[in-house]
Amino acid sequence: MSFQNPVFIPGPTNIPDAIRKACDIPTLDHRSPAFARLFRPAVAGVRRVLNMDGGEVVILPSTGTGGWEAAITNTLSPGDCVLAARFGMFSHRWIDLCQRHGLDVQIIETPWGQGAPLQAIEAALKADTAGRIKAVLATHNETATGVRSDIAGIRRAMDAAGHGAMLFVDGVSSIGSMPFEMAAWGVDIAVAGSQKGFMLPAGLAILGLSDKALAAMETARLPRTFFDFRDMLKSYAAGGYPYTPAVGLIAGLARSIELLEDEGLTNVYARHARLAEGVRRAVAAWGMRPCAASPDLYSDTVTAVLVPQGCNGTDLVKLAADKYGVAFGVGLGEVAGKVFRIGHLGMLTDVMVLSGLATAEMCMADLGWSVRLGSGVAAAQDFYRGSAHGVALAAE
């Protein structure tokens, strides 16, 4: 794999030089006022990106999976019931994690390529007259299938059912790249990771907690030590950690938020929407379509491309890496081999995306797929030339 080429996987994403430099700092005493001065801007910035109103931010040395685990262990007890739809690899993994922790998971099986089923969620909550369901788990952006779910719609379904469950949202591949309204959507725990929209190396789980989630900590009985929010928040009050933090990543997080806000979050989201639409125009020109079942479900951070009958998406991904030094994403779970995935989030521009589309076309031709070289690139070019351009993210 060439380090000169951008990656087109849905995370980890390309890292701007400004963020790499921010992470490269001398050893710092993490119990000193110097660390507090570095840490507090990062926490305040996360609050702004999540659009929080009240509650707390917790930043853990971990990944999104650790964020999922922290969300449930700090708010739930053994045997508690949670409601989740399974419609992709990452919703499946969150369900699996809950089951391993002894939770009773009520699963709504949903075809891959669909989003969270709002009517089924509302019906399940209405049927729960005893109030057994303590939390609804939702994957905002399912990267296995390139599907975005309607989190505001889930909140409306919960309110229509008159149910008091908490709402936990996996925003690992959406937060920092697509609009996220924690307060307006009534989200109780939002989980993000450092390596996607924040454009950092992997290593941080980033969580927003509502006041309701904080109150649930007082009665939760699932075991936790390293992930205990109570320990974290007690130390935060003094500007520190209960253990050794990832100081360099936290410095990089503060710089990441500066870059996002310098570009303007509205412009960041518009850039991602534009890049995604260009990719989809290319996919259509190839005679293919996204795995997402309908346009309202299209993700702005990753497109899972359904490959023609008799073709294998994994072959394209392997060839791109071996011959051209370019990374695309393989299909996962039920769509393994049926798709290849183009990540278009983080530090990417129109020009960078065009290079990825051109590489995908070369791979298709090399594999003998029916494609006309330049067809997808031209379709994306036509769109990018005619669409409004925001300020590209600085990479200095």
Q: Under CATH, what is the fold of the domain 265-386?
A: Aspartate Aminotransferase, domain 1 (3.90.1150)
List the domain boundaries for the chain.
17-261, 265-386
Residue 391 pLDDT > 90: no
Predicted pLDDT of residue 237: 84
Tell me the pLDDT band of 2, cut-offs 50, 70 and 90.
low
Predicted pLDDT of residue 388: 65
Residue 291 pLDDT > 90: yes
Give residue-wise pLDDT tens across range 219-273.
999 999 999 999 999 998 888 899 999 999 999 999 999 999 999 999 999 999 9
CB 208 within 8 A of CB 217: no
Give residue-wise pLDDT tens across range 90-147.
999 999 999 999 999 999 999 999 999 999 999 999 999 999 999 999 999 999 999 9
**Average pLDDT in the 313-330 region?**
98
Predicted pLDDT of residue 389: 62
Question: What mean pLDDT value characterizes the chain?
Answer: 96
Q: What percent of the chain has pLDDT over 70?
A: 97
Predicted pLDDT of residue 395: 43
The domain over range 17-261 is classified in CATH as 3.40.640.10: yes
Q: What percent of the chain has pLDDT over 90?
A: 93
Per-residue three-class SS string for the chain: CCCCCCCECCCCCCCCHHHHHHHCCCCCCCCCHHHHHHHHHHHHHHHHHHCCCCCEEEEEECCHHHHHHHHHHCCCCCCCEEEEEECCHHHHHHHHHHHHCCCEEEEEECCECECCCHHHHHHHHHHCCCCCEEEEEEECEECCCCEECCHHHHHHHHHHHCCCCEEEEECCCCECCECCCCCCCCCCEEEEECCCCCCCCCCEEEEEECHHHHHHCCCCCCCCCCCCHHHHHHHHCCCCCCCCCCHHHHHHHHHHHHHHHHHCHHHHHHHHHHHHHHHHHHHHHCCCEECCCCHHHECCCEEEEECCCCCCHHHHHHHHHHHHCCCEEECCHHHCCCEEEEECCCCCCHHHHHHHHHHHHHHHHHCCCCCCCCHHHHHHHHHHHHCCCCCCCCCC
Give residue-wise pLDDT tens across range 44-75.
999 999 999 999 999 999 999 999 999 999 99
Report strand pairing: 141-142 vs 56-61: unpaired
Predicted pLDDT of residue 387: 83
Burial tier of 238 (Cβ tally within 10 Å: 0-12, 13-18, 19+): exposed
**Average pLDDT in the 371-379 region?**
98
Predicted pLDDT of residue 286: 98
Tell me the pLDDT band of 394, cut-offs 50, 70 and 90.
very low
pTM of the model: 0.96
Predicted pLDDT of residue 1: 58
